Structure 1
Amino acid sequence: MPFAELDQPGDDRGELVGLLKRLGLRTLGDFAALAERDVAGRFPNDTIIAHRLVRGLSHRPPLRRALPPELAVTERFEYPLQRLDEAAFIAKALGERFFTGLALHSLACTRLAIHALTEAGEERVRVWRCAEPLTASATADRVRWQCEGWLARPDDRPTAGIVQLRLEPEEVIGGQSLQLQLDSIGHDVDAAQRAARACVRIQGLLGPDAVLMPVLDGGRGPGERVRLVPWGEPREATQEDQPWPGRLPTPSPALVPRQRQPVQVRDAVGDVVCCNDRGELSYPPAVVVVGDRPARRVIGWAGPWVYRDSAFAKQRHGRIQVSLEADEPNAGEVALLLNGAVGERPNWHVEGIYD
């Protein structure tokens, strides 16, 4: 068959046909007789596909990979589980079977899905995300705590007993990750594990959002940079490397109040200190009044740093750092981070307290 058979409508192989003719090939049989290794070493990917087609093969060779092993563990009970002591006994055996099955394939689980099926056909599913690979005892604890959370909560208790439990690994890693690192030697590893188990147990009873951890992430202000994630989730910053115009310089305040505390910032003659769009104060701050407390003299200040909440926000804000003299003889100085709107009515408030 001639080379023209390769240049079908929509294939756009006219240039390839001309090249093969210039190389001395006359038919599709001549092209098919070339070794696949020689074609792959001389021509681009579209020519390799054409070479497979003239040989009667598919576009791509079959993907040679081993089928993943069956790692899930399922246990069905003759009598439904309705008591916590029964769940505790079953959880230990099921956790050991699950861990042993993973260990045979040199794997460890970091994301575990627990499926429960009741006698009435209700299905409950909970996924546990773990920062460290699960051991046999840790797996058993999560199964027991989860069953306890399902059976002990009166508001969300199943209408019938549990007749089937299934443990399914949704995320696995190499089993060598279970080895302790050198820097853990000499530390109280058992205390850390007990604390982690206590947090996980609370999550099993009250839900994943019952125990939260702070993560320092990107943002302009101190409160914006703190993000809370559930215990066991990865504590990774996702916006730290982005630009943040008007970001507060270091150091950050040690305490960020939950509620705004109004503040009056006045100059030496008693006028309100304002901030303009160019990042300039109307007068140097001399006195600060926090709430209904007595006025305190400013002994040092820095700023302002002007920023906008978002690219579409019209109102701009300014931050200043002030150091106030002690209000009592034995008390120390106080350093505050103040935030106020840009303009004639700044409405200053305490955004952070430095240690």
Structure 2
Amino acid sequence: MDYKIFARENYNVNALNSMEISDPITGLKEFLVGKSADQFKQHLRDLLFAVFEKHGWRQHGAPLNLYQKAKEVTKLMDFVWLTTTCEIGTQQKGVGLQGHYLREQYRQRTFNKLFVRTPAKDKGRSIPCADVARVIFKKRHGLLLKDDIERVWLDVALNSSYMPNLTVDFYCIESSTDVHDYWYMMTIVDAAFELVNAPTPQLDAEKLNYYQLFASDADHPDGLSEEDIELIFKGLSGVFWYIDEVKFPKAIRKWYELITKTDHWKNHKDPGNLLYIKETIQRMVETAWLWNRMGFPELNVCGVNKKYVADLSAAQIADPIAYVDYFFGQHRLYEWKRLLANWLAQSLSDEPCHDTEVTQQDCSDIIRLVQVARLIEQGM
């Protein structure tokens, strides 16, 4: 298999499980129970305002609340993208985004003093939101808008410790928050509710079967770039360049303690640190999984610096590959990713979570994997 199909630059559908992918309309209907289009549009407004307002996430309580808003919007986008992509017999002719939004301004008389009356040729002419969404996805490289919310809006909104200008420049936020993109997202929300209230469309079963590869309950990487995958045997030097290997295990243990803490976020300013820890660990886990699938190169693990492998036994140092086998024997890749996502959500809350799926053993296993990954990376 060419694992580069899973590269994050491809903006894959990855928020849906296999059942939801096999029948996205039923999944979307269940997902939208008790929810409204206005709620999702407010989620988008809250996320966008939090990007540009320092500590803006505090207006919504614990950072978990803003995080959940982002996850709900991105899952909705996956449903709409999958449905509109796999629908059979769709017509895209005559759908021009600029003309569509101008007609909507005419129709709704958004600018009363400018548009006194709606031209006769535009009266009553309406394009289904699902058709517009299909064109939006084509124009914006598939699920790039979803990626903007997950990897740009949310990261910037929760990274409060940076100087605002530095954060904005680093994430190139201006190119991800254009007004037309914001309206595109609003249209995708409308398309979701239009789809569940319209006759069930006929979907291409072969395409749906292909997208099962990307299901959230299937094993595949999400956080690796195409370059990471192509140069998989070059190691994790890019990851370890940004972290202190000696201090990182301590950060992971502190992160685990947050699951059962209360009121942590009343004084702490930067929940974005936890997003970074989670994403870094996930990259290591996914890289180790690919190593395990594609085979390991010959390693030379002599001359080990003990401070980098403080949690490993002599046997694990001597045979780090065996530990990778053990690690994925404990949980499959998709289970580790789900554990990390639950761990992140629980640590972003101000409520204690004593009945957590994440165990102390999981925390210890991840710390050892980080050290094993470094050991393997140095021995390549």
TM-score of Structure 1 vs Structure 2, range by shorter chain: under 0.3
Higher Cα radius of gyration: 1
Q: TM-score of the superposition, structure 1-length normalised?
A: 0.18
Specify which structure has the higher proportion of strand.
1
Q: Write 1 or 2 for the structure with the bigger share of helix.
A: 2
**TM-score of the superposed pair, with normalisation by structure 2:** 0.18
